[in-house]
Amino acid sequence: MTALQFANNNSFSTWAMKHLAINEDEQGNVIVSVPDTNGTWSHVTCSETKTNITPVSCSCGHENCKHQAVVTAFYARIYKQPAAAPVVAPVVAEQYDGSRPLTTEEWKAIIKRDKVRQRKEKDAEWAAIMRARKSSARAS
């Protein structure tokens, strides 16, 4: 790489991204050849999924080297990550701590939730009983 090329590109990663060579090995792994400033090529092995390509190792022998950073930046431009949904704080109902008596509305809400729970349990039990009856009728 010449000084003029660096002056025109302002950074190693910008220059290197323009000169990547992408291949595949026998197992189907993506191999990206990244040029270095001293004229050698480093081979970055990547793991590919449906949503992205992630560098796993580099032939230079370093972990998280500049070659892997170049490959990560290159594929980040291609595989756009969906914007994460904003995290909404869960709405926490007021917990009864026993320091005050419950109001009539609170008791009615508790009773209503409990009746729904009991109905679901009873329906599940009856469904199991009916399945057992059908299977015993077939067996005889």
**pLDDT for 3:** 46
Number of domains in the chain: 2
88 inside domain: no
**What region, left, alpha or beta, does residue 10 occupy, with left being phi > 0 and alpha being psi -120 to 50 degrees?**
left
Same domain, 54 and 109: no
Instruction: Show which of 78, 108, 130 is a domain's final residue.
Output: 78
DSSP track, 63-130? SS-HHHHHHHHHHHHHSPPPPPPPPPPPPPPPPP-SSSPPPHHHHHHHHHHHHHHHHHHHHHHHHHHH
138 inside domain: yes
Same domain, 66 and 104: no
Q: Mean pLDDT over residues 82-92, rounded?
A: 74
Roughly how many angstroms between the first and final C-alpha of the chain, as a whole number? 85
Instruction: Give yes or no for residue 40 having a pLDDT over 50.
Output: yes
Give the list of residues 6+ apart from residue 74 with CB closer than 8 angstroms, or none. 17, 20, 32
117 inside domain: yes
**pLDDT for 10:** 63
**What would the two tokens of residue 46 be?**
């990547």
Which tens digits make up the pLDDT trace of 119-130? 999 999 999 999
Same domain, 58 and 24: yes
136 inside domain: yes
Give the structural domain span for 19: 3-78
7 inside domain: yes
Same domain, 36 and 97: no
Same domain, 60 and 109: no
Same domain, 22 and 47: yes
Q: Mean pLDDT over residues 76-90, rounded?
A: 76
